[in-house]
Amino acid sequence: MSNLLEIRSLSCGYDNIEIVEQLDFVIEPGEIACLLGPSGCGKTTVLRAIAGFNPVLSGSIQKHQHQISSTEYTVPPEQREIGVVFQDYALFPHLSVFDNIAFGLHRESRSVQRSRVAELLKLVELPDISERYPHELSGGQQQRVALARALAPKPKLLLMDEPFSNLDTDLRRQLALQVRSILKTQNIAAIMVTHDQEEAFAISDKIGVLADGKMQQWGTPAELYYNPVNPMVAGFVGKGELYDGSCLSDTCIKTELGTIEFAEPFGATQGRDLSLFIRPTDIRPSIERGDVMATVEQKEFLGSSVVYQLSLPSGRMIESEIFEPLLIDVGAQVSLHIAPHRPIAFNL
């Protein structure tokens, strides 16, 4: 099976100012990908280049093995057969829901339009709102109408620029899962831009983490979470901190949190200095005495978990999150037990 989209050595920006450089990734048919990164890293710039709205400064973009963007040749956006869902939905306020969705079907007969719009409204679970106008809809409904409009011409690729950013947290997660289901049902590939790690994990088969105009890592959500290639990726896809340590063996590292033993060797030699990335969920405080003691400075009960702010003997503040009713008083002295799922270590 050939790739649907190929990005090769892509550099792009605005007014000949390079914002993203030397990007490489591919999208397979039906695959959902996400460009994840902090604001200003170039995510939307890449999306707009794929859509044909921004020029390519170097490299190329191919769709179905046909070049659609390069420094010498660019296919106009309307000829790319790529759907786009904008951050503000961009629904036409003077058109009904029916006419908004049917906008890209102007070459079809009225009967075909009616059939396709009805099909899409059922797909996005809004079967009875075709005569309403955008101002009569909630934010979640507008988002689903915008999705239906983008899907109407049956594109093989859909681009979404922070489509859930205007919604509250619970609705964002709910719609992200719903959109994933719709895209998979329709076998439509998609690229979504977001700065929200949970949103990216919920919807994506592959994620590309961007920072400083470069692709830091491309892979599955699990690959990025468990095997980040650098501290930036580790910190962006999962909360945690770096702790300098020295290898006592190929399974054991000594840090200011204590000596941490791993179940399997991780390829480091004795005496080597490393920086270990440890998440709050891997740090468990205990009222029993241990080699390293810390002081509970703050406690936050969140219902399903308890978050502790702990101070180490060095004065460093660290965080521990426990998903059980382990209630320790502020001011208590606790020992630390570290149980990371697997070592995430970087060279110093």
The one-letter code for the residue type at 346 is F
Phi, psi values for residue 91, rounded to 5°? -75, 145
The one-letter code for the residue type at 174 is Q
**Mean pLDDT across the stretch 61-67?**
94
265 has a pLDDT exceeding 90: no
pLDDT in the model for residue 25? 96
Torsion over CA: 103, 108, 111, 112 (sign):
negative
Looking at the chain, which residues constitute the CATH 3.40.50.300 domain(s)? 5-236
Residue 57's beta-bridge partner residues? Answer: none
Residue 294's beta-bridge partner residues? Answer: 334
Please report the beta strands in the chain, taking only residues with DSSP state E, as ranges in sequence order. Answer: 5-14, 17-27, 32-36, 56-63, 66-69, 82-85, 157-161, 189-194, 206-211, 214-219, 241-249, 252-255, 258-261, 273-278, 283-286, 293-301, 306-311, 317-322, 333-338, 345-347
C-alpha distances in Å from residue 315, one per residue of 144, 299, 309, 311: 50, 17, 12, 6
Report the distance separating Cα 221 and Cα 197, nearest Å. Answer: 9
User: What is 5-236's CATH number?
Assistant: 3.40.50.300
**Mean pLDDT across the stretch 227-247?**
93
User: Higher-confidence residue: 210 or 251?
Assistant: 210
147: nearest Cα among 120, 171, 129, 174: 120
pLDDT digits (tens, 9 = 90+) for 115-140: 999 999 998 889 999 999 999 999 88
Residue 281 DSSP code: G
Torsion over CA: 145, 201, 2, 8 (sign):
positive
The CATH superfamily of 240-347 is Nucleic acid-binding proteins (2.40.50.140)
**Mean pLDDT across the stretch 5-29?**
93
320: nearest Cα among 338, 336, 307: 307
Residue 279 tokens read as 């998440």
**Residue 184 DSSP SS3:** helix
Q: Binning pLDDT at 50, 70 and 90, where does residue 250 land?
A: confident
**Mean pLDDT across the stretch 316-320?**
96
Looking at the chain, which residues constitute the CATH 2.40.50.140 domain(s)? 240-347
pLDDT in the model for residue 1? 61
What's the whole-model pTM score?
A: 0.88
The rounded mean pLDDT for the chain is 90
pLDDT in the model for residue 143? 87
